Amino acid sequence: MMQIIDWTGYCKMMSLLLVLYYGFIGAKYFKYELLNVFGIKRVTNQKASVPVNDMKDPVEG
């Protein structure tokens, strides 16, 4: 049974599995760093701060 798979096929399969494994780890734990490489910035859910002087008084309309 071990003679069916040659060393070239074994090395190709192990290389493919390593690329898939490290790709999964990179996508899971370093998603925002990888997106930053392509120029995509992380958007946070922080509220925009508005100075109090620029806010309208709700009583005045």
- Model confidence pLDDT, tens digit, residues 2-55: 678 889 999 999 999 999 999 999 889 988 888 888 887 777 766 666 566 655
Residue whose token pair is 């958007």: 43
Reported as a single tens digit per residue, the pLDDT across 33-44 is: 888 888 877 777
Domain layout of the chain by residue ranges: 1-43
Alpha helices, DSSP H, located in the chain: 7-29, 31-37
pTM for the complete prediction? 0.53
Say how many CA atoms lie within 13 Å of 4 toward its Cβ. Answer: 1
